[in-house]
Structure 1
Amino acid sequence: MTDRERILRTWRGEPVDHICWQPRLEHWFRYRQKTGTLPERYAGMDLLEAYDDLGCSVRYAGRPLVYEYDNCALRVEGDDRGRVTSYETPLGTLTEVIHFGEEGTSAHISKFPIESLDDIEVMEYFLSDQRVRFSTEQFEEIEERLGDRGVCQFYFARTSLMRLIVNYVGFEQTIYLLHDEPERMERFLAHIDRCDDGLFEVLCASPVQILNFGDNIDAWLTPPPLFERYMLPIYEKRCEQLHAAGKFTHIHMDGALKPLLPLLSRLPQHGIEAPTPLPQGDVELEELCDAMAGKLMLDGIPCVHFLPNFPVSDLESCVERLLELQAPRLILGISDEISPPGDIERVRLVSEMIEATVR
């Protein structure tokens, strides 16, 4: 059975010969490649060859969506130190500034595009002018490149509140604005969601079978009152559309989870990606698996278990417990992904453990 077959059969709830293992090596590989610290074994390999050598599957390999504008433009300029993105509209231009880490593979936003209430109208105009289309050419190229290693799946624009927090405004200012200017912010959130209608029409009509709500949920950013008010209704509406079109869905929840555990069973998505138990997250593995309520778990191994200073036996124990508690509703992976100082041979160890379970 190929990884592609395992992935699709797992989502459909059909038997597989063993659990699919998708550790997400991209950040580790690119950092090591950029800094000249790839282990000798991988020095001449590309990323997909490294996946093959380690015996694991690929989850993400591209997003075949193209954004177009009639009266606006999105301009991106940058160098090794950072990137400036300009949202150009007839009403004015908004600017986002991102600075890269020294190695060029990490980044942080130093200036959000929305800094005042007046900026909201400009962003609303930009979003109203934006169109999205699905690129069949890019999709076919991704599928060909993946082969049997995986299935073309991807995450798309964050839902409205998380887009404010992560992309447009920043967490602190978003909270202040929700408190101080509730009516204006409610209108803005509703506008973002309306502008996403075209995106979801495109996703529903596409041949992609698995889609990820890449909202990077953390209970300290969206505690239960905010989550229930702003997140759940959108998830319910959008998943109803996607599921009616035959799509499988999952949501990226890689932050603190304990306050949100009682709400996991209410999520309409079929699966949850990157939930992180102790010692890295804030929940016991057992209580996390109980709260999943039959949903598919993607990942589940805290990435700290791949650091050289953590005992290998802890990693082995974690894998064994995940297989016991969550299989077959499991696509095993690292929550969220292996970090640059991680020991890549521990990825091979997990591959060998999974292979040993073949029945």
Structure 2
Amino acid sequence: MALRQELRARLTGGGGDDPIFLADLTRWYQRMALLGMMPPALEGLALPEVYRALGLPIWMVARLWSESLPGMEVSLEEDEFQRTRRVETASGPLIWQWERAPRTEWQQTHLPIAGPADLPAAVLWARAMRWELDTTGLTELDASIGSDGLLAIELPPRPIMRLGRELIGWDRLEELLEEPAMGMILAALDEPLQEAATALAQLAGSLQSSPDGLTSATVTAPFFDRYLAPSYRSTTCELREYHKVLQVSVHGDCADLAAPALEAGIATLAGVAPAEAGPSLGRRSAQLGEGITLWGGIDGGWLSPTVPVTSFEDGVRRAAADAAGHRGIVLGLAGTLPSDMDLDRLRAIPELIRSI
């Protein structure tokens, strides 16, 4: 089976059971480009060419949406180190702020919802919010990948994840969830998300990717069942009509979320960390009947030169041995990839996997 077909099959619940490696370098590439820290050997290369230079299959995600607020006044002020976004509503303003220091990434420093008093404005914002789609350049992007890898279509994030991450903050979210306005906000945000999913499902390709970054630190199994599963089920049911599947990004091993994700119709959890305790990924995949693909298992931190090379090699071989015989595992990198990533180690991973 050709590489592209095998990768697609493995991420959609089929294919063989030999260990296979697919790295997602998207976030690392964006960070290195933003900070002007791209390794000299990769300087000036587009992401598909970076993969080719490293001898790796290509993984690309196309983001074709942007937030639109018809009828609302939106202002954005930005300089090199500060950015402020202000949305005027009939119930008052909502304000987002970000800051950055030299050679660092943007960090959000002000959230628009501080308490119940801000919820009426948030309801109006959510009811006005739409996702505007633009597929310009998609055909050319797919052609640039060719048979060397896969192109996934990214969906907007789930409403509850947006609230926790960029509007309220996880520390305040729980105390506000029982407010009646919160149900209105979640429902209002989910409607345009499902509309976008349906529209994007009509494009070429088998995979839609949800950039939710689920982590057991903030998303427990009961929380998932109440606030995420209904939205995911709506999407996965719609995608089946178009013969598409849904992948969701995670942080950590997310051991408690794999079974609920499978029940919600999710095909792949991406970025799964090696299990530090309890069942290994291979055993967990078997317990799940290989019904959901766990993509990860190799700690991205092992690619730092500060980690002994023997520890890196042993870790990759353990992950490969654990994945052998499980079509429900695609080996990949988990966690934040280090800025000082050793490219030779990255290049060596496929051969280390084959050596088991």
Is this a same-fold pair by TM over 0.5?
yes
The 1:19–1:73 alpha-carbon spacing in structure 2 relative to 1, beyond 3 Å, is: farther
Q: 2: distance between equivalents of 1:63 and 1:57?
A: 20
Contact 1:58 1:146 (C-alpha < 8 Å) held by counterparts: yes
Is 1:58 equivalent to 2:55 in the alignment?
no
Shift of 1:256: 5.4
The 1:168–1:18 alpha-carbon spacing in structure 2 relative to 1, beyond 3 Å, is: same
Task: Give the partner amino acid of 1:210.
Answer: L
Q: 2: distance between equivalents of 1:42 and 1:287?
A: 38
Aligned-residue Cα RMSD (Å) equals: 3.1
Please show how residues 135-174 of structure 1 align to structure 2 within 5 Å.
135-174=134-173
The 1:352–1:88 alpha-carbon spacing in structure 2 relative to 1, beyond 3 Å, is: farther
Q: 2: distance between equivalents of 1:282 and 1:339?
A: 27
The 1:46–1:66 alpha-carbon spacing in structure 2 relative to 1, beyond 3 Å, is: closer
Q: Hey, what does 2:115 align to over in structure 1? A: 116
TM-score with structure 2 length normalisation? 0.84
SS at match of 2:140: helix
Q: 1: distance between equivalents of 2:44 and 2:181?
A: 54
Contact 1:301 1:335 (C-alpha < 8 Å) held by counterparts: yes
Q: 2: distance between equivalents of 1:80 and 1:311?
A: 38
Is 1:193 equivalent to 2:154 in the alignment?
no
Please show how residues 97-116 of structure 1 align to structure 2 within 5 Å.
97-104=97-104, 106-116=105-115
Q: Can you list the C-alpha shifts for 1:96-122, whole angstroms capped at 9, x where unaligned?
A: 111225313x23211112223343333
Contact 1:215 1:252 (C-alpha < 8 Å) held by counterparts: yes
Is 1:224 equivalent to 2:200 in the alignment?
no
Unpaired stretches in structure 2, ≥5 consecutive residues:
none
Contact 1:300 1:322 (C-alpha < 8 Å) held by counterparts: yes
Is 1:131 equivalent to 2:130 in the alignment?
yes
SS at match of 1:122: helix
Contact 1:27 1:340 (C-alpha < 8 Å) held by counterparts: no
Q: Hey, what does 2:22 align to over in structure 1? A: 22
- Bigger mean CA deviation after superposition, 256-265 or 161-170: 256-265
- Bigger mean CA deviation after superposition, 148-157 or 159-168: 148-157
SS at match of 2:215: coil
Q: Hey, what does 2:41 align to over in structure 1? A: 41
Task: Give the partner amino acid of 1:149.
Answer: D
The 1:305–1:186 alpha-carbon spacing in structure 2 relative to 1, beyond 3 Å, is: same
Q: Hey, what does 2:83 align to over in structure 1? A: 83
Q: Hey, what does 1:93 align to over in structure 2? A: 93
TM-score with structure 1 length normalisation? 0.84
SS at match of 1:206: coil
Shift of 1:276: 0.8
Contact 2:221 2:257 (C-alpha < 8 Å) held by counterparts: yes
Contact 1:27 1:339 (C-alpha < 8 Å) held by counterparts: no
Q: 2: distance between equivalents of 1:261 and 1:66?
A: 29
Q: 1: distance between equivalents of 2:42 and 2:179?
A: 53
How many residues were matched structurally? 353
Shift of 1:11: 3.7
Task: Give the partner amino acid of 2:135.
Answer: T
Q: 2: distance between equivalents of 1:306 and 1:131?
A: 40
Contact 1:54 1:351 (C-alpha < 8 Å) held by counterparts: no
Q: Can you list the C-alpha shifts for 1:145-176, whole angstroms capped at 9, x where unaligned?
A: 33333332143222122111012111011112
Contact 1:257 1:283 (C-alpha < 8 Å) held by counterparts: no
Task: Give the partner amino acid of 2:294.
Answer: M
Q: 1:249 aligns with which of 246, 250, 266?
A: 246
% same residue: 20
Q: Hey, what does 2:209 align to over in structure 1? A: 212
SS at match of 1:124: helix
Q: 2: distance between equivalents of 1:36 and 1:232?
A: 39
Higher strand share: 2
Q: 2: distance between equivalents of 1:20 and 1:76?
A: 44
Unpaired stretches in structure 1, ≥5 consecutive residues:
none
Shift of 1:3: 4.2
